[in-house]
Amino acid sequence: MIIRASLVLGIFIAGVIQAGDLVAQPPSAAESAESAESTATTEKSGTVYLHETFESYDVDGEPGADELQRVKLVTVVDGGGKVGSGKVAHYNDDDTEDGGAMEYNVGESALGSMYIEFDALNNDTAKGDKNSAVIFGVGPWEEGRPLTLNAKSKRAFGFEMYQQKNLKLRVGDENVASVKYDSAAAFNVKIWANDHDTNTLTYKRPDNGETATLGRDSVVVWLNDALMEGLEASGTAMHKDITEGDAVIGRAGFSSASTKVADFLFDNLHIEDPAGESKPAASSAPAAETSSSSSTEQTPDSLPGAEKMSYRDGENAMDLFVYKPEGWKAEDKRSAFVFFLAGGGPKGRL
């Protein structure tokens, strides 16, 4: 392998490193573009499937978009500037006998990828108990079905917003990521979901604008433009029974348990085709050695799964590359291999 002359740090990690913080930021203006299965650039937004600000509905009435399949225990209220702007949806499940719901079926048929964004605020931090939550989920595209996201087995994933200071990402019975949040402050959620059994999907990271690659059949969540603690930029696997096959998803919305109460405000619900580049995932097999006569430079960031962190740019660039195995979890404790590549000159010596 030929490595550029500048100092490069390569770290091969078979463990887990993540961080996350909690900033409501309005969605960018969307314009038509090719689907996520095409080679559209990440500079453009994709086709908008839903952009709901709740402004067109009467106060104390129910939202009623064409895409809305079911709404229960949700009314439109004046947000008072607490989250988003103007009117907002008040998800007020105060009935222990029946769960609330606000579910949308988006697109004209099942989708291969989705970008989702919304603003949220815990409307009553003292309500319920540690298990009281509103769950934002994504499941199979099913037009006409009134309620599909009310069970773990029907969700590709569930982003759980608890009344008692926790936000979690759950896939089936597994809690794959969790973070404590300021339950008195509004927060912004950005989600990318790639429903393709073989292809990855590129997207623009909210924190630094760089391009990241979301794994096949994976989801990633950003909170206030910071990666959710417990996740990596390449995401985590969605429910394999739900996402089997390509382009299955298209149902999205909020639900809650029938025995627990929940009280949240939501605004600026936006769902679109992320229009990133979709391409076959890199093979996990070792790449063939590059012959000495080859003119193609092989660099750490050209290897499958590379996550690059730049410490210094320019002629004497200093980069760090992190590689993690599929299926890793934040709670895992695994061995790590640290590889330093040193050179013989002043520009390549540690």
Is pLDDT above 80 for 108?
Answer: yes
Residues 258, 321: one domain? Answer: no
Residues 160, 263: one domain? Answer: yes
Contact, 157 vs 132, CB < 8 A? no
Higher-pLDDT residue of 112, 284: 112
Task: Report the SS3 class of residue 313.
Answer: coil
Is pLDDT above 70 for 23?
Answer: no
Is pLDDT above 60 for 2?
Answer: no
Higher-pLDDT residue of 39, 58: 58
Average pLDDT over residues 264-286: 81
Is pLDDT above 70 for 41?
Answer: no
Residues 248, 325: one domain? Answer: no
Residues 312, 209: one domain? Answer: no
Residues 211, 290: one domain? Answer: no
Tens of pLDDT along 75-88?
999 999 999 889 99
Minimal CA–CA distance to 300: which of 8, 6, 7?
8
Residues 96, 82: one domain? Answer: yes
The last residue of a domain, from among 258, 279, 300: 279
Residues 92, 131: one domain? Answer: yes
Average pLDDT over residues 281-296: 46
Tens of pLDDT along 132-175?
999 999 999 998 888 899 899 999 999 999 999 899 999 999 99
Q: How many other CB atoms are found less than 10 A from the CB of residue 120? A: 29
Is pLDDT above 70 for 301?
Answer: no
Domain harbouring 74, CATH code = 2.60.120.560
Total domain count for the chain?
2
Q: Is residue 350 part of a domain?
A: no
Q: Is residue 30 part of a domain?
A: no
Q: What is the mean pLDDT of the chain?
A: 80
Q: Is residue 32 part of a domain?
A: no
Tens of pLDDT along 178-206?
999 999 999 999 999 999 999 999 999 99
Is pLDDT above 60 for 99?
Answer: yes
The last residue of a domain, from among 225, 258, 279: 279
Contact, 328 vs 338, CB < 8 A? no
Is pLDDT above 70 for 43?
Answer: no
Predicted confidence at residue 96, as pLDDT, reads 82
Tens of pLDDT along 236-274?
999 999 999 999 999 999 999 888 899 999 999 999 999
Predicted confidence at residue 78, as pLDDT, reads 96
Residues 170, 189: one domain? Answer: yes
The length of the chain is 350
**pTM recorded for the entire structure:** 0.70
Q: Is residue 43 part of a domain?
A: no
Q: Is residue 40 part of a domain?
A: no
Q: Output phi, psi for 295, to 5 deg.
A: -100, 0
Q: Which of 20-24, 205-209, 291-295 has the highest mean pLDDT?
A: 205-209
Average pLDDT over residues 271-297: 60
For residue 233, which amino acid is it? A
> How many CA atoms, within 13 angstroms, populate the side-chain half-sphere of residue 334?
17
Confidence of residue 343 (pLDDT cuts 50, 70, 90): low
Residues 265, 290: one domain? Answer: no
Predicted confidence at residue 311, as pLDDT, reads 66
Q: What is the DSSP string of 134-203?
A: EEEEEEE--TT-S---SSGGG-SEEEEEESSSEEEEEETTEEEEEEE--TTS-EEEEEEEE--SSEEEEE
Q: Is residue 167 part of a domain?
A: yes
Give the least confident one: 20-29, 30-39, 145-154: 30-39
Q: Is residue 42 part of a domain?
A: no
Residues 85, 105: one domain? Answer: yes
The last residue of a domain, from among 279, 310, 328: 279
Domain that holds residue 60: 48-279
Residues 210, 245: one domain? Answer: yes
Residues 95, 52: one domain? Answer: yes
% pLDDT > 90, the chain: 57
Give the least confident one: 103-112, 113-122, 213-222, 338-347: 338-347
% pLDDT > 70, the chain: 72
Predicted confidence at residue 306, as pLDDT, reads 63
Q: Is residue 39 part of a domain?
A: no
Is pLDDT above 90 for 19?
Answer: no
Is pLDDT above 50 for 44?
Answer: no
Higher-pLDDT residue of 54, 295: 54
